[in-house]
Chain A
Amino acid sequence: MRIRAQRDDLADVLTRANRAVGTRTALPVLQGLLCEVSGTTLRVTGTDLDVTVRTQLEVEVMDEGRAVIPGKYLSEAVRKMPPGQVTIGVTDTDIEIEGNGPRFTLRPLTVDDFPTLEDVVADGVEVDGEDLADAINQVTIAASGDGARPILTGVLFETSDDGLRMVATDSYRLAKRDLPGVGLEGSGLVPARGLRELPRTIGAPKVSAQLREREAVFTSDRGSLRLRLIDGNFPKYQSLLPESYPNQVILDREELLEALGRVTLVAEDHIPVKLKLIEGGVEVAVSRQDVGAETEHLAGDYSGADDEVSIAFNPRYLQDGVSALSGDKVRIQVIDSYKPSVIDDGTDGDFLYLLMPVRV
């Protein structure tokens, strides 16, 4: 195998495929990138078996062939080369990377040890790439990072009345996003960790999505991303969504985010921010015994069955939900101090963030 291409193009396909390369893999070969050269195409595959990224590039081919090259060293070596053409070649024992002077020699990994991955057949449903990336960013904030509960580390993909619904929860909050018109068939629990890689690895104006028996497959003209589905039953989230809320306040989203930025100066994750919904807006307060306190009033439109309602939230979780909204306004709908509140943009739109309060 011997190819030549522009440094920046090569670095791009290698770096994107390398995002799937595991940092904690027990199989040494999975620390490598499988580079396959055929015709005029270089195809690069990185995988940790749960997440697989495949990228490709048209290159100048001197020799066809395949090799597994340590991913971190390969992508970094190419990136650090001088601008211009870079050549990657396989000798009997080494991988040589050279261009405009510098020359790296890397030890290859055993190509036969690399797992066999079937080719992706791109017959999925076409999705607007920007909408999908937005939806991923909105729902994955609510997914858990606790690997001891794998189900909560996933995003549920399921068919809704008018398209695709994506839902994630870590048991303290739940994010739900609808993508109307996306007729993805089936349902599955897609790992949030891998989904977050989609915009960075194969993000494009048009993305094809497909749910298969054991994996979710996303393809674009920049490559493919395959995510092994998580086994298990996602919590029955529909019953968690209250049908009505007696109290609500509508605030300026930017003003609330700025206020929460001031709150987090005083509060760590475990110090709740207290909100008192009253006529004319919200009183925001946080106090921490060993630091001090911060209070302020945010003007807003409050309507409710009660003259005032007090509720407290984990400030980071509240900040996450408000940040995930896209409009100018934020609506907080509250039942009482102990039941989940809904945060949305006030339009009953496609995104909803359900947040459990903190007992104070």
Chain B
Amino acid sequence: MRLVIARCSVDYSGRLTAHLPEAIRLIMIKADGTLAIHSDGNASKPLNWMVAPNLIETHADRWVVTNSKGESLTIWIDEVLEDVTHELGDDPGLQKDGVEAHLQELLAARPWVLEEGLTLVRREYPTDIGPVDLLCADQENRAVAVEVKRRGEIDGVEQLARYLERLDNDPRLAPVRGIFAAQSIAPQALVLAEARGIEAIEVDYEGLREVEDTELRLFDIRH
């Protein structure tokens, strides 16, 4: 990976023509030949870019990038401020962050964010068709089953409805209320939840994570 910070202007020609007037910019050249030009703004999107495979010719005053589609990018270099190259090696790839499992863990630790006075009875409470994410007790000590999803869809509501049906067969728990909790809930799932007498609640995952970050523990429970 080569990173160059330079005062430059840029001309592109291909599907259209475009010109970037002279300014200080970051030029990123990846090992695979992809080139991108960034400014300090524009979020993550480059001002201009050429996806590999490319041919890059470097001259004292300009770099010329061309590809087989007939596109070309000419970067007129006025002054190089930084020029660094690093070998990044193989990338392990994007790992799924386990939001749903983490959301369940966060809600298990503080079920009152779903309903005032709600306390946890057990996580992964078993039923004969599988475990419900959280079994809680409300302020009147009535059983409340909570199903946690990252995104609340109809099938999640149906799943909770089936758990409630099984839990209601246990005379020591019945009647069991249901709460369907998700980061976001689809409108159809909201309608179905209401029809099934299930409360649907959207939870602020990022907010819960912030709370977790400020909590102090005696020891790290992740190990």
Contacts and interface: CB of A to CB of B under 8 A. Distances in A.
B218 A172 contact: yes
Q: Which one of B120, B122, B124 has the highest number of Cβ atoms from chain A below 10 Å of its Cβ?
A: B122
Given A72-B171, A270-B112, A24 B215 contact: no
B202 to A, nearest CB: 19
A141 to B, nearest CB: 14
Contacts of B214: 358-359
B38 interface: no
Interface residues of A, number: 27
Interface in B154-188: 170-173
A357 B216 contact: yes
A26 B126 contact: yes
Given A171-B218, A270-B110, A359-B215, A24 B121 contact: no
B112 A356 contact: no
Nearest to B110: A270
B218 A23 contact: no
Nearest to B213: A359
A354 B126 contact: no
B218 A145 contact: no
A306 interface: no
Interface string B122-139: 111111100000000000
* Residue from B122, B128, B216, B218 having most chain A Cβ neighbours under 10 A: B218
Contact of A23 (B105, B170, B216): B170
B40 interface: no
B112 A145 contact: no
A356 B221 contact: no
Contact of B221 (A23, A149, A358): A149
B116 interface: yes
Nearest to A24: B126
Interface in A3-23: 23
Contacts of B120: 145-146
A148 B124 contact: yes
Contacts of A268: 112, 116-117
B217 interface: yes
B122 to A, nearest CB: 5
B122 A23 contact: no
Contacts of A24: 125-127, 170
A235 B219 contact: yes
B163 to A, nearest CB: 12
Contact of B218 (A26, A173, A358): A173
A315 interface: no
A147 interface: yes
Contacts of A147: 122-124
B35 interface: no
A338 interface: yes
A269 interface: yes
B217 A72 contact: no
Interface string B94-118: 0000000000010011101100110
Given A23-B172, A72-B172, A145 B121 contact: yes
A335 to B, nearest CB: 12
A174 interface: yes
Given A145-B122, A268-B116, A340 B105 contact: no
B216 A358 contact: yes
Interface string A230-246: 00000100001000000
B218 A356 contact: yes
Contacts of A146: 108-109, 120, 123
B216 A359 contact: yes
Given A146-B120, A268-B116, A172 B173 contact: no
A328 to B, nearest CB: 28
Interface in A157-216: 169, 171-174
Given A24-B126, A172-B215, A354-B218, 14 more contacts: A23-B170, A26-B128, A72-B172, A145-B120, A147-B124, A172-B217, A240-B218, A240-B219, A270-B110, A270-B112, A270-B113, A338-B216, A358-B214, A359-B216
State the 6 A-B residue pairs at the shortest beta-carbon distance, nearest first.
A171-B217, A359-B214, A148-B123, A23-B172, A356-B216, A171-B221
Interface of A: 23-24, 26, 72, 145-149, 152, 169, 171-174, 235, 240, 268-270, 338, 340, 354, 356-359
Interface of B: 105, 108-110, 112-113, 116-117, 120-128, 170-173, 211, 214-219, 221
10 contacts: A24-B125, A147-B124, A148-B108, A171-B217, A171-B219, A172-B218, A268-B116, A354-B218, A356-B217, A359-B214
